[in-house]
Amino acid sequence: MTITVTKRGKTFAAELRGVDLRGPLDPADQAAIQAAFDEYGVLALPDQDIDDDQQIAYSRGFGDLETSVRYNQPGGSTRPELSYIGNVDPEGKLYPVGDKRSLPGTQRWHSDSSFKPVPAYASLLSARIVPPEG
C-alpha cells in the first residue's frame, strides 16, 4: 500500500494513511513517516487498532523510549513505556468535572519531557476509546 500524507492544519499537522501499525514497518515506510513528522510536526494515523505491544514496537522506530512514572494507572497499561492519559475510570464512566485524575496539564497544549536534559523527540498517542462524534 502507498503512504499518503494530507495536510490538515494551516501551519502544521497532517493525516497519514496507507500504513498498518499492527506489524513491523519496512525501512521505506518508517522513513516516509519520519519525513512527514519532520515536515508537519503532528501526524494523525486514523483507523489503527493497535494494542500496547504494537504501540511500543511502532514507537521504537523513532528511537529509544522513555519510561514513565504514570504507567500502571487504573484502566491503563502495566508497561513502563506507556502512560494512561484519559478521562474514563476503570468501569468506563467519565471522570466528573474537576476530578484530580484529570490533570490540568492534559487539557492544554504542552510538549512532553521538555524539562529534561535530553527532551523527548516525540509523543506517540493512541486513542483506545473514541467517541462516535466530536
d(CA 17, CA 119): 28
Across the chain, mean pLDDT equals 84
User: Long-range contacts: 109-113, Cβ < 8 Å, 24+?
Assistant: 113/66
d(CA 1, CA 19): 7
Whether the CB-CB separation of 58 and 21 falls below 8 Å is answered with yes
Q: How confident is the model at residue 105 (pLDDT cuts 50, 70, 90)?
A: low
Nearest to 70, CA basis, from 82, 58, 61: 82
pTM: 0.79
d(CA 44, CA 8): 9
